[in-house]
């Protein structure tokens, strides 16, 4: 009997789900919007502060891992156990993220015991905040030359660490940190100003 994904080591997962860099696909934006609608219907907009498409698939024209990254900001008082059940009903695997921001949750879809199947999604769950990833996304959209540097770096790392996702991610860290610092200087502070613990999605 094949191991469940939760039982596999990082090495086993790396071989089963190698790094893939695909050419830009204009359908990525529509795939995000479709999944966003599904999440809103299942979780309820009253539990959601904001949903954002981020990561390389959100940047027009650049190559990317063909995974739709979604940042889901939820209300502080959300029932996290119920949230896990809701995402499982949509076909997601729950991945606890003890080193990530509260509530330390991530959900993944498109991963099976036999490899990728269908469109892959990562939903990163956090409480409301002012997140570096959104600055990085917006800066690369505004600066195509920096986005091109990022593509080249990812392609180099993919050749070196195709089956080692952790090493691939570490290899991008310094570049992302440097660009994000520049993005915050240029784009300014964009912290949310919510008087209530939760606002409805517009």
Question: At 172, which CATH number?
Answer: 3.30.460.10
- Domains contained in the chain, number: 1
33-55 burial, b at 16+ Cβ within 10 Å, e below that, comes to eebbeebeeebeeebbbbbbbbb
Structural domain contains residue 122: yes
Residue 115 in any domain: the answer is yes
Residue 181 lies in a domain: yes
Residue 14 banded pLDDT, cuts 50, 70, 90:
low
Taking the C-alpha atoms of residue 98 and residue 112, their distance in angstroms, rounded to an integer, is: 23
Query: Does residue 48 form part of some domain?
Result: yes
**Secondary structure (3-state) at 180:** helix
Predicted confidence (pLDDT) per residue in 59-88, tens digit: 999 999 999 999 999 999 999 999 999 999
Give the pLDDT mean for 48-57. Answer: 96
**1 has a pLDDT exceeding 70:** no
Tell me, yes or no, whether 132 lies in a domain: yes
| 15, 44 contact by CB (below 8 A) | no
Contacts of the segment 143-150: beta carbons below 8 A, 24+ positions apart:
144/61, 146/179, 147/59, 147/61, 147/62, 148/62, 149/175, 150/56, 150/62, 150/175, 150/179
**Per-residue model confidence as pLDDT tens digits over 156-192:** 999 999 999 899 999 999 999 999 999 999 998 664 4
pLDDT of residue 192: 47
- Smallest Cα–Cα separation from 57: which of 16, 98, 28, 85? 28
Structure tokens at 153: 């770096």
Q: What is the average per-residue pLDDT within 131-139?
A: 95
7 in a structural domain: no
Is 195 a member of any domain? Answer: no
Asked whether residue 4 is domain-assigned, the answer is: no
Task: State yes or no: pLDDT of 96 exceeds 80.
Answer: yes
Q: pTM to 2 decimals?
A: 0.90
- The whole domain housing 157 covers 13-187
- CA pair distance 68, 35, nearest whole angstrom: 9
Cα 50 from Cα 19, distance rounded (Å): 29
In this predicted structure, the answer to whether residue 201 has a pLDDT above a threshold of 70 is no
Give the residue from 7, 134, 16 showing the smallest Cα distance to 71: 134
Percent of residues, the chain, with pLDDT higher than 90:
77
Residue with tokens 């024209």: 61
């Amino acid at each position: 009997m094949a191991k469940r994904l939760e039982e596999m080591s990082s090495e086993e997962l790396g071989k089963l789900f190698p790094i893939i860099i695909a050419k830009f696909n204009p359908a990525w934006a529509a795939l995000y919007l479709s999944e966003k609608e599904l999440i809103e219907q299942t979780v309820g907009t009253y539990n959601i502060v904001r949903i954002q498409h981020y990561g390389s698939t959100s940047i027009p024209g650049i190559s990317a891992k063909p995974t739709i990254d979604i940042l889901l900001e939820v209300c502080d008082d959300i029932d996290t156990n119920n949230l896990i059940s809701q995402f499982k009903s949509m076909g997601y695997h729950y991945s606890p993220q003890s080193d990530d921001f509260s509530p330390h949750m991530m959900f993944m879809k498109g991963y099976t015991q036999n490899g990728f199947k269908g469109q892959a999604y990562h939903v990163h769950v956090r409480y409301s905040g002012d997140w570096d990833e959104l600055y990085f996304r917006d800066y690369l959209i505004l600066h195509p030359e920096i986005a091109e540097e990022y593509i080249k770096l990812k392609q180099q790392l993919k050749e070196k660490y195709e089956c080692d996702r952790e090493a691939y991610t570490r290899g991008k860290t310094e570049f992302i940190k440097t660009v994000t610092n520049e993005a915050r200087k240029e784009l300014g502070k964009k912290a949310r100003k919510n008087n209530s613990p939760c606002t409805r999605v517009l």
